[in-house]
Amino acid sequence: MHSHTETPPLPGSFGRNGVADNSKAVAAQNYLNAPFDAKGFAACLVAKRFGLSPCLARLVCELAHIGGRLA
């Protein structure tokens, strides 16, 4: 009986004799992201939620005291 799969294999994904070809695989690397400050994070949320430009969202957060340090 033949095995059946829902999707066909990708072209070039198998090498000789049906063995997977990993010669072009790229290893994952640890990318260090810069820490995101609270005011910038709040500005991104406000910009996304209300459809504002990033500059205007930063101004709104500054005037509303959103994303600042607690005293």
Q: List pLDDT tens digits, range 30-48.
A: 777 777 788 999 999 999 9
Quote the pTM value: 0.50
Q: What's the number of domains the chain is made of? A: 1
Distance CA 48, CA 14 (A): 43
Which residue segment(s) compose the domain that 70 sits in? 35-71
What number of CA atoms fall less than 13 Å from residue 26's CA on the CB side? 3
Answer whether residue 26 is part of any domain: no
The pLDDT tens digits for 19-32 are 666 666 666 677 77
Answer whether residue 9 is part of any domain: no
Residue 20 confidence (pLDDT): 62
Answer whether residue 23 is part of any domain: no
Answer whether residue 27 is part of any domain: no
- Are 63 and 39 contacting, i.e. CB atoms less than 8 angstroms apart? no
Supply φ then ψ for residue 31, to 5 degrees: -95, 125
**Residue that wins the pLDDT comparison between 67 and 9:** 67
Answer whether residue 22 is part of any domain: no
SS3 label, residue 14? strand
Residue 25 confidence (pLDDT): 65
14, two tokens? 């198998």
Answer whether residue 20 is part of any domain: no
Answer whether residue 14 is part of any domain: no
Answer whether residue 52 is part of any domain: yes
